Amino acid sequence: MRKFLILSFFLVIKCFGFAQQLPQYTQWYMNQFATNPAHAGIKKCIDVHALYRTQWVGFEGAPQSGFFTASIPIHIRRKQYLSARHGTGFKFERDRIGQLEFNRLNIAYASHFNFSKHKRLSLGLYGGIVQFGYDPSTIHTTETDPSILNQTSTVAPDASFGAWFNDENYFLAFGAQNLIPFQWRNIGIDARSQLHLSFQAGYRYSVNEDMSLIPALNMRVPMKGKTSVDLNLHWDYRNLIGLGLGYRNTDALLAFVSIKLKGQFALIYSFDYTLSKLQQVSKNTHEVSLRFSTCKIRNSGTASCPLF
């Protein structure tokens, strides 16, 4: 058991020190504001999201992540029909893997520029703090090793940038996270946060007035790690019921289901089936989220202010 714990620790440090340091969410498409501040206030109504993700169920020290976000439009009298709109919001995010824990609190601001009724460019910033902690209490070694047994906690500034462009039936997005690097104290000499880039795209194909198909792509690019790509296909029925399938190149098959509850609430569940060698100890990852929107529901069943 001791050898297993020590090996797990060094695997965690390697993964976080040189690869993906930010949590990845299977439901990224339904929670764009969580990773892209350009979505702040993009709708004319308030959106509140809460999500919890437990990865590799049954694997000791496996990642557990979650967030709570609120996207809020700023209502200012517009001088012209297509003049810029503004939005704000906030995000609290918690991510834990093994002995490492990250807590982030960010405030967002975004400007939305319309070139026509449907063509829109949005630019946004997240600014806040990140608290990084390392607790070695569950690490047991035969000899005292100060390089892994020093408890630490660091608070540092945090910032992200996001850009979003959409027309009536497609979107393109870019994000840059961890813009302010900081060193992880007492954990080696090269343990530090790294810049992460992301690219998203999607297209809505209307099957008929009630149904749509939306293929979407999410590419995450850590500066010192393997690029992760999600390919998703979502089926939507009148913005009330959604189903989806997906594939992640690094390790998983994905499945989604979303249901509107009483018009303004939505419950979303997703499941990852592990394809990598980790399936020998864990095949399952679960993600569940609850969303509330002040957007009213029309008699047709579609939302009055959908993103598309």
Measured CA to CA, the distance from residue 48 to residue 40 in angstroms comes to 11
The tens-digit pLDDT sequence of the chain (308 residues) is 444 444 444 444 444 434 567 899 999 999 999 999 999 999 989 999 999 999 988 887 889 999 999 999 998 776 666 778 999 999 999 999 888 899 999 999 999 999 988 899 999 999 999 998 887 766 666 666 666 666 778 899 999 999 999 999 999 999 999 999 887 766 655 667 889 999 999 999 999 989 999 999 999 999 878 899 999 999 999 888 999 999 999 889 999 999 998 878 999 999 999 998 877 777 789 999 999 998 876 544 444 445 65
Query: pTM for the full model?
Result: 0.84
What is the reported pLDDT for 7? 41
Measured CA to CA, the distance from residue 184 to residue 29 in angstroms comes to 31
Q: Are strands 211-222 and 205-206 parallel, antiparallel or unpaired?
A: antiparallel
Contact 257, 269 (CB under 8 A): yes
Please check whether residue 299 lies inside any domain of the structure: no
Q: Residue written as tokens 């540092």?
A: 156
Q: Smallest Cα–Cα separation from 41: which of 69, 12, 78, 82?
A: 69
Q: What is the per-residue pLDDT across 55-79, written as a single tens digit (0 to 9) for each?
A: 988 887 889 999 999 999 998 776 6
Measured CA to CA, the distance from residue 195 to residue 176 in angstroms comes to 7
Q: Which runs of consecutive H residues, i.e. helices, occur in the chain?
A: 2-18, 146-149
Query: Residue 273: which region, alpha, beta or left (left: phi > 0; alpha: psi -120 to 50)?
Result: beta
Asked whether the CA dihedral 65, 295, 167, 205 is positive or negative, the reply is positive
What is the reported pLDDT for 192? 73
Query: How many domains does one find in the chain?
Result: 1
Please check whether residue 90 lies inside any domain of the structure: yes
Measured CA to CA, the distance from residue 169 to residue 307 in angstroms comes to 10
Q: Compute how many other C-beta atoms are within 10 angstroms of the C-beta atom of residue 164.
A: 24
* CATH code where residue 277 lies: 2.40.160
Please check whether residue 88 lies inside any domain of the structure: yes
Please check whether residue 158 lies inside any domain of the structure: yes
Measured CA to CA, the distance from residue 90 to residue 108 in angstroms comes to 6
Please check whether residue 303 lies inside any domain of the structure: no
Please check whether residue 302 lies inside any domain of the structure: no
Please check whether residue 216 lies inside any domain of the structure: yes
Please check whether residue 241 lies inside any domain of the structure: yes
Q: φ, ψ for residue 265 (rounded to 5)?
A: -105, 150
Measured CA to CA, the distance from residue 275 to residue 273 in angstroms comes to 6
Q: What is the per-residue pLDDT across 139-177, written as a single tens digit (0 to 9) for each?
A: 666 666 666 666 778 899 999 999 999 999 999 999 999
Expressed as residue numbers, the domain containing 89 is 2-293
By CB atoms closer than 10 A (0-12, 13-18, 19+), residue 159 is: middle
By CB atoms closer than 10 A (0-12, 13-18, 19+), residue 35 is: buried
